[in-house]
Structure 1
Amino acid sequence: MKPLITGIHHITAIAGNPQANIDFYTGVLGLRLVKKTVNFDAPGVYHFYFGDELGRPGTVFTTFPFTGARKGTKGTGEVTYTAFSVSVDSLDYWIERLRKYSIPVSDVLTRFGERLIRFEDHDSMGIELVANDQDDRSGWTYGNVPIEHAIKGFYGATLNLKTKDQTEKLLTEHMDYRFIGEENGRYRYGTQGKPGDLVDIVIDKSGNRGTQSAGTIHHIAFRTADAASQLEVRDMLTENGYQVTEVIDRNYFTSIYFREPGGVLFEVATDEPGFAIDEDEAHLGELIKLPEWAEPDRERIEESLIPVKLTVEAYD
């Protein structure tokens, strides 16, 4: 039977300064700004999408940058680290690059037999780069990162929870995930067990709950093929007692949302239609794109947004 959920679709964070946000993810990390729009639920705030060339599902890290937002704190009930996938021999390059821009970076760590580094962005967002030879995606770069070292997309995400049992039940009984293994108190799950679908649960017995603001993850979205499979997921979750929203149109995909038992906001998003429906593929992310219902207020919305620009050349 074909699985309804096939991995991570996107991960969305709360950020601070919009220009600093673009500079870090396009300039330092080399991701493509594939869409520049607004938060559909708060149109006075940008919504940036960073990913590979086309913003394929499983590559897209998105942000809501609130100018002047205070820093959040890591804790239970949230995704504390987003892991990106790089080639098996790329860590030395990334350590040197991060240090070049005065970004503190961990020593090389080992987890489930793979090497990784850990650091934070300008808002203290937790990021990992995992070196592996299991990822056949090509990645993308503006040219400021050599293509052989470019980020390929997500590797996985870490859920920081007080307990794991009910979340594990959700993942393995209702979301097509399976338990892969445990190492040093870290429990790993995957749909196929490869980069782009991995979810780790780490238990925080202190129980200190995270504070959501700049530098924290707002939600994690999981992939489903289309509207029909999304409705199947929604019906199944609802039948099993989860409080799931109606289907919401996000222009580039449709979404449903619910809280998993540990408090993390989960989304299930469709792979289609993608980011090229309102911009040519060669010019993704160049204009501010608004949903149809917001177009009558474009002038007011644009006046409320701080102007931003790509400054990738400064990060060669």
Structure 2
Amino acid sequence: MQLTGIHHLTAISAKPRENLAFYTGLLGMRLVKKTVNQDDVSAYHLFYADGRANPGTDLTFFDFPAAPERRGANSISRTGLRVAGEKALGFWRDRLKAAGGVTGDVIEVDGRLTLPFEDGEGQRLVLVDDGGVDASSPWERSTVPAEHQIRGLGPIVLTVHDLPRTALVLTEVMNMRRVRDYAAHGAQIHVFAMGEAKDENNPATELHVLEDKASPMAGQGAGGVHHVAFRTPDEAQYHAWTQRLNELRVRNSGEIDRFYFRSLYFREPNGILFEIATDGPGFATDEPMETLGEKLALPPFLEPRRSAIEAGLKPIG
């Protein structure tokens, strides 16, 4: 039983209008679902992805009016976004610097070319050359040429106080493999991979973990990450993961139907929220693929409350 990679990552924005402009305008990602947080319907839940809304490409945001994140340990500290090739990274360096944001330089990290940058709220991101390891689904209406578009998520970087406790859960509970270590920015980073060994060196299947015993614990807020989700291909394996967590006495949410996928949440020992999510049914379940994200979508159990929900949301375009 193997997780197959990163499913989605959910972060926090206190400025949903600016968030929408940044991720669809500057980054050229597709808004594939405009819905609400199912646990707090006063907040948008925005999903940005590739042209076909494939699992593994979703960068999502909760619209919470929160103070800025306090950076520190026991948090998801950087989100990888995959692109294809050195030319793409050169395109993005020029595009991001022209926009005036916080942008670094193209450097090699862990044998891959990377470009770190931040969005307007300080969300820490990095573009990573994935070597074209997976097929891509460009969006024809993107502001970015197809060959340079963001292809998906990965790797995801965690910063934790206690590496051995996190490593134990990753390897003994979640069946990841510890595949290598590397040095970056004066620290040692440990790489854990999902899937079969033949799929190694695919950033879409990697979690990178940095141990930092000195920093205070992070405080969640705008510009920070809420949780990361991992892919399981079908409901049979999803149920098997629930059984596994219960047998190992890992506290979890129990199975939750999010309509677009099935979810199972738990916290690793340093407190970071993990989710296991199914690849399907997918975002085209209630909207045509051609018009995804163009109107507010609600799962069936929230549809009777549409008028009240819409009245409580601010228009964001």
Q: TM-score, normalising length from structure 2? A: 0.93
Question: Aligned partners of 2:153 and 2:77: how far apart in 1?
Answer: 14
Alignment partner of 2:303 out of 292, 295, 309: 295
Question: Aligned partners of 1:207 and 1:55: how far apart in 2?
Answer: 37
Alignment partner of 1:281 out of 275, 278, 289: 289
| 1:136 aligns to 2:139 (yes or no) | no
Alignment partner of 2:37 out of 39, 58, 65: 39
1:74 alignment counterpart? 71
Q: Deviations over 1:280-304 (max 9, x none)?
A: 0000001101122222221111111
1:145 alignment counterpart? 144
Aligned residue identity for 1:136 = D
Alignment partner of 2:24 out of 23, 26, 30: 26
Within a 5 Å distance, the mapping from 1:75-94 to structure 2 comes to: 75-89=72-86, 90-94=88-92
2:171 alignment counterpart? 172
Aligned residue identity for 1:182 = D
Aligned residue identity for 1:25 = Y
Question: Aligned partners of 1:140 and 1:20: how far apart in 2?
Answer: 23
Aligned residue identity for 1:179 = R
How far apart are residue 30 of structure 1 and its match?
Answer: 0.9
Aligned residue identity for 2:193 = G
Alignment partner of 1:244 out of 245, 252, 261: 252
Aligned residue identity for 1:237 = L
Runs ≥4 residues deviating over 2 A: 134-137, 139-143
| 1:102 aligns to 2:105 (yes or no) | no
2:160 alignment counterpart? 161
Question: Aligned partners of 2:166 and 2:85: how far apart in 1?
Answer: 31
1:181 alignment counterpart? 180
Q: Deviations over 1:241-282 (max 9, x none)?
A: 210111101010010100001111000001110000000000
Q: Deviations over 1:203-250 (max 9, x none)?
A: 112141111111111000001112211111111122222101111010
Identity of aligned residues (%): 38
Question: Aligned partners of 1:63 and 1:234: how far apart in 2?
Answer: 25
Q: Is the CA contact (8 Å cut-off) linking 1:163 and 1:203 kept in structure 2? A: yes
Q: Is the CA contact (8 Å cut-off) linking 2:102 and 2:119 kept in structure 1? A: no
Q: Deviations over 1:21-50 (max 9, x none)?
A: 111111111111000000000001000011
Q: Is the CA contact (8 Å cut-off) linking 1:6 and 1:197 kept in structure 2? A: yes
1:304 alignment counterpart? 312
How many positions carry a matched residue from both structures? 306
Q: Is the CA contact (8 Å cut-off) linking 2:24 and 2:142 kept in structure 1? A: no
Question: Aligned partners of 1:233 and 1:295: how far apart in 2?
Answer: 30
Question: Aligned partners of 1:209 and 1:20: how far apart in 2?
Answer: 28
Aligned residue identity for 2:69 = G
Question: Aligned partners of 2:227 and 2:134: how far apart in 1?
Answer: 26
Alignment partner of 1:117 out of 105, 115, 126: 115
Partner secondary structure for residue 293 of structure 1 = coil
Partner secondary structure for residue 115 of structure 1 = strand
Question: Aligned partners of 1:99 and 1:179: how far apart in 2?
Answer: 36
Question: Aligned partners of 1:71 and 1:188: how far apart in 2?
Answer: 28
Cα separation, partners in 2 of 1:41 and 1:275, compared to 1, 3 Å: same
Aligned residue identity for 1:223 = R
Alignment partner of 2:268 out of 246, 260, 263: 260
Cα separation, partners in 2 of 1:120 and 1:100, compared to 1, 3 Å: same
Unaligned 5+ runs, structure 1: 310-316
Within a 5 Å distance, the mapping from 1:215-234 to structure 2 comes to: 215-234=223-242
